[in-house]
Amino acid sequence: MAGIDPDRTFVSLHIAVLTVSDTRTAADDRSGDTLVARLEAAGHQLAARRIVPDDVDAIISQLRAWVADEAVQVVLTTGGTGITGRDITPEACSAVFDKVIPGFGELFRWQSYRTIGSSTIQSRAIAGLAGTTLIFALPGSTGACKDAWDGILVEQLDARFRPCNFVDLMPRLGEV
């Protein structure tokens, strides 16, 4: 049965939050605030937080900087996963990924379907591994960030979650 194993120890991760937006500022970044509040409530540490414009080079540059920073284990992005011309976060993330984690996008859309119905088809949420850093690209709405965290990430980023989780894999992510 899936769930938290109380005999296992929680491991606090260092998670960076990247908001991708041409219009958001630190004062009104509600989706970034939602992710920070949830990751901290779960017991994780905020490693860094930035806002970058909807620009492929800016996103790639920030992601690569965090992937190179050993203090960052996970990156959560919010924004830019739709289908309009300015929505380029999946393309930027894909340029940084060494491996794609297709199940994340599939599960996110299934989870989101229960909340917003067929509108979830417009989401291009994606995840992957860059070096030993996990990257999850979420839509920019607070509802989508809540769905992704509450329905997927809170468990998969918890070493106590069974039958498996990403934390258990982290020591082996750099192996070849």
List pLDDT tens digits, range 27-74.
999 999 999 999 999 999 999 999 999 999 999 999 999 999 999 999
List pLDDT tens digits, range 98-118.
999 999 999 999 999 999 999
Specify if 17 maps to a domain.
yes
Specify if 5 maps to a domain.
no
Q: What pairing do the DSSP bridges indicate for beta strands 161-162 and 3-4? A: antiparallel
Specify if 79 maps to a domain.
yes
Q: CA 121 to CA 142: how far, in whole Å? A: 17
Which CATH number goes with the domain that contains 113? 3.40.980.10
List pLDDT tens digits, range 62-91.
999 999 999 999 999 999 999 999 999 999
Number of domains observed in the structure of the chain = 1
Specify if 174 maps to a domain.
no
Residue 174 confidence (pLDDT): 85
Specify if 154 maps to a domain.
yes
Specify if 147 maps to a domain.
yes
Residue 88 confidence (pLDDT): 97
Q: CA 91 to CA 80: how far, in whole Å? A: 10
On the question of pLDDT at 1 being above 90, the answer is no
Which domain covers residue 128, as residue numbers? 13-22+30-45+52-163
User: Do the Cβ atoms of 138 and 144 come closer than 8 Å?
Assistant: yes
On the question of pLDDT at 176 being above 80, the answer is no
Specify if 34 maps to a domain.
yes
* Cβ contacts of 125 within 8 Å, gap of 6 or more: 81, 104, 105, 108, 109, 112, 136, 137, 138, 139, 144, 148
Q: CA 59 to CA 65: how far, in whole Å? A: 10
Specify if 2 maps to a domain.
no
Rounded to an integer, the average pLDDT of 111-132 is: 96
Place of tokens 């809540």: 146
Residue 175 confidence (pLDDT): 83
Confidence category of residue 24, pLDDT binned at 50, 70, 90? very high
List pLDDT tens digits, range 143-170.
999 999 999 999 999 999 999 999 999 9
This prediction's pTM: 0.97
